[in-house]
Amino acid sequence: MDLNDLFSEESIVMECASKSKKNVLELISKMASSLGQTDENKVFEKLYEREKLGTTAFGNGIAIPHARIDNLADAMIIILMLKTPIDFDSSDGQKVDLIISLLAPNNENEMHVNILSKIAEMLDDATFREKIRSCADKLEIKSVISSYQKN
């Protein structure tokens, strides 16, 4: 599965202003709702429940908030490039400036796990992290993700 099929320019926010983890989850929920996928409150509830189980901060200034959502038609990715890094309870203590959120249909557990592992694999690559953080616009982000998947 090509990750670029799961997000569009409308699901990327560059220079995103956010004050907290809770605010990031609210922004993701609002975006998912505005993209016509699902109810904002349901998304927030599921993302918040997942964070209570343990932080989705990945380390190296990255978080991958994710959840399976009832009645969600298709998996979707939302990318936030934060203007100012925020505390996300990361095990390495680093503040987070890059958020790649995955929302998947509740009945698609295998798909959820496969996409999540692809995202984690990309973000584990220092060169990829450097490239994605240096992107000047949304098209460049899509291009960097596309190029990585071809390697």
Rounded to whole angstroms, the Cα distance separating 11 from 31 reads 7
Rounded to whole angstroms, the Cα distance separating 98 from 10 reads 17
Please pick, among 46, 66, 112, 138, the residue that the annotation labels catalytic.
66
Bridge partners, residue 76, by sequence:
103
Q: Confirm if 76 and 70 have CB atoms less than 8 A apart.
A: no
Q: What is the CA radius of gyration of the chain?
A: 14
Rounded to whole angstroms, the Cα distance separating 38 from 35 reads 8
**62-63/96-105 β-pairing:** parallel
**57-59/12-16 β-pairing:** unpaired
Active site residue 112: no
- Of 22, 19, 41, which is closest to residue 30 (Cα–Cα)? 41
Q: Which residues are catalytic?
A: 66
